[in-house]
Every structure is written in C-alpha cells, then in structure tokens.
Amino acid sequence: AQSVTQLDSHVSVSEGTPVLLRCNYSSSYSPSLFWYVQHPNKGLQLLLKYTSAATLVKGINGFEAEFKKSETSFHLTKPSAHMSDAAEYFCVVSDLGSSASKIIFGSGTRLSIRP
C-alpha cells in the first residue's frame, strides 16, 4: 500500500536561512516522487520529480530533493530562503501506470518566511 507522510504541517524560517521540508513515503512498487508548491488561490505547480534516475534531484527556484531508499525519504531543501518561497508544499507518490495505479498527496507543509 502507498502512503506519504509530511512530517511538519508548518515550518517557519528566516529569510536567507536554509529550508528543510520532510517527506517519508511507502510504496510496494518503484514509485515516482514529486514535490509541488501551491501559492494562495492557485493550483499546484511542479517543483521537481524523481523517477529512478539520479537520487539528487534539482528543481526550480533553487530547490532540490534527495531520494534515500534506505530511509524511504524524499526531503526538500533550499540553501537560502526567499520571501517568495512562502507557500504550501506537497510531497506526492505516484504509481500510475502500474497495477497499483495510485497517486497520493501528502497533507502539505506550510512554509513561512520571516523577514
């Protein structure tokens, strides 16, 4: 069975400091993993994806994530937070196309940036 756990519902950091948003997953298959960002009153926008290639994935706006199979984690990081990063972030696991054929969204992490 698939599941996604975002370990923090809210993260607050100061502008210019590193960001860490944590995500753990479980899947019976070899899933694809994604991070999406949602700004207020907008749809979700893809930040980055992992699809069994390089374990360190670089995305847009300076974000990156590392796939660690042994820890079943896919944490999102950014070296230096910017005010415009304030948004909701979703970790997603997808088995679409396999016999499981599921896509599961995490519960989201709200990122706040302090001036």
Partner 1 sequence: DAGVIQSPRHEVTEMGQEVTLRCKPISGHNSLFWYRQTMMRGLELLIYFNNNVPIDDSGMPEDRFSAKMPNASFSTLKIQPSEPRDSAVYFCASTPGRNSNQPQHFGDGTRLSIL
Binding site for partner 1 (CB under 8 A): 31-32, 34, 36, 41-46, 49, 51, 90, 94-98, 101-103, 105-108
CB of 75 to partner 1, least distance (A): 19
CB of 51 to partner 1, least distance (A): 4
Given the complex with partner 1, which of 19 and 35 has the nearer CB atom? 35
Question: For residues 22, 84, 40 and 24, what is the CA-based torsion angle, rounded to 10 degrees?
Answer: -10
Given the complex with partner 1, which of 81 and 90 has the nearer CB atom? 90
Written as six digits, the tokens of 59 are: 């995305």
Given the complex with partner 1, which of 22 and 49 has the nearer CB atom? 49
CB of 100 to partner 1, least distance (A): 9
Burial of 99: CB neighbours in 10 Å, binned 0-12, 13-18, 19+: exposed
Written as six digits, the tokens of 62 are: 């300076």
Given the complex with partner 1, which of 19 and 33 has the nearer CB atom? 33
CB of 18 to partner 1, least distance (A): 25
Q: What angle do CA 28, 64, 66 make, to 5 degrees?
A: 40
- HSE-CB of 79 using CA atoms within 13 angstroms: 2
